[in-house]
Homo-oligomer: A and B are copies of this chain.
Amino acid sequence: MRTNEGVEWALHCCAVLALLPGPAALPAHRLAEFHGVPPAYLAKHLQLLSRAGVVESVSGPRGGYRLSRPAGAITLLDVVTAVEGAEPLFRCTEIRRRGPAAAGGSYRGSCVIDRAMRHAEQAWQSALRVQTVGDLVDQLGGTGEATVGWLAGVLG
């Protein structure tokens, strides 16, 4: 079990987009160039972010991507869910109903293992929900300023 590599890319991209001045947009290939990752593949993940409503796309020249709402209103869970999908980490397949275990019979309530795993998963999601892209940007420090400079040069 390992998170999609695109999750890291998407988070970094959101942090960069949060530094965009005003209504400007940044093309996918610029984001790929900035991070040194395959442009076409990064585009795939940006599409996921767009479909989830985290970022919005602008077509044509001077187009690209920008955040669809303030960075402080985008949680890390929003980004992770957009890229990884909404399916839970742990999926209970109800194996207790397959073999002789079912004969025992009284599986009324939900599976205790399913409950325990979901509880842990909710702890993970809660930790992602309390952190926003804005929080990340605030912690960037000098790296953030350097990024702003690079953006100014690119946007011309």
Contacts and interface: CB of A to CB of B under 8 A. Distances in A.
Interface stretch (A46-54, A64-72, A122-130): A122-130
User: Which of A5, A36, A105 is the most central at the interface, judged by chain B CB atoms within 10 Å of its CB?
Assistant: A36
> What is the oligomeric copy number?
2
Given A116-B76, A120-B127, A127-B119, A99 B3 contact: no
Contacts of A56: none
Nearest to A153: B100
Given A1-B84, A141-B106, A8 B113 contact: yes
A46 to B, nearest CB: 15
Contact of A90 (B8, B35, B122, B125): B8
A101 interface: yes
A95 interface: yes
Interface residues of A, number: 62
Interface of A: 1-5, 7-9, 11-12, 15, 33-37, 76, 84, 87, 89-93, 95-96, 98-101, 103-107, 112-113, 116-117, 119-128, 131, 135-136, 139-143, 145-147, 149-150
Closest 6 CB pairs of A and B: A104-B146, A36-B98, A36-B99, A120-B127, A106-B142, A124-B124
